[in-house]
Amino acid sequence: MRLDRIHLGLPDDAPWFVRVVLRSRAFLIVTVVTTTVLAIIAASNPAWLLRIDQPVSDWARGAGGDLSFAKLVTQLGSPSLAIAVGIVAVVALWGRCRASAVTLGALVAAGLTTDLVLKVLVDRPRPPNPAVSAQLGSFPSGHVIHAVIIFGIVPLLLWLLTNRILYLRLGFGVFAIVVISVAVSRILLGVHWPSDVISSFFIGASLLVAAEQMLTSTWAARRCSSLGYHSSSP
């Protein structure tokens, strides 16, 4: 099989957020550096972060009011939802585009593993008196990571499979609303500090970049001729 084209890059009218997150080397560098620095500080000197985290957390929780909606919204980033979406999507994609199925499964697994490993290594204490139960350490927020990777990969997959830019625009509009809502809900519920959710966004974004590189690679093109970005001829 000969590959006529592999990856033409993001279209000129792609949402700016997509271009920045998935194609900006500077963003990736900032992401890695920021996450590493915050993880080191959270592990070695969490009291330093509390100088900023504590006032912001106190203000947010004091102004939060009824937490019923926050408890509902936060489920959009739950590990169980990420696993369920991952399983359903892998099964649905396996017959049409095995490369996409493998990438999505690997992305969900990477998100779950990264969250668990960093929680154990950093072991940052959670805010006092949380409104919902939470396990292990506060850093990072698994809910934010899962929200970023799930609601970030779905519009990208839809676009790659159909070549319709509409899916990117609508999908990442939903992505922004969901991720911000989940991040705020974790602070309002008192299970994470603000720096936890900020770092978690960067972690999830880094995993999305890796997934996008897999989906638009020669490896994917050889295993998925139905991808909108990948066409092949005998």
If you average pLDDT over every residue of the chain, what do you get?
Answer: 82
Q: How many residues does the chain have?
A: 234
Phi, psi of 230 (to 5 degrees): -120, 110
The full set of domain ranges for the chain reads 2-233
- pLDDT, tens digit, for every residue of 48-72? 989 999 999 989 888 767 788 999 9
Of 234 and 222, more confident: 222
The DSSP call for residue 124 is P
pLDDT at 229 over 70: no
pLDDT at 231: 43
Return the bridge partners of 231, or none: 5
pLDDT at 195: 93
pLDDT at 2 over 60: no
Nearest to 204 by CA among 228, 185, 176: 176
pLDDT at 117 over 90: yes
pLDDT at 227 over 70: no
The CATH T-level fold of domain 2-233 is Vanadium-containing Chloroperoxidase; domain 1 (1.20.144)
pLDDT at 9 over 70: no
pLDDT at 137 over 80: yes
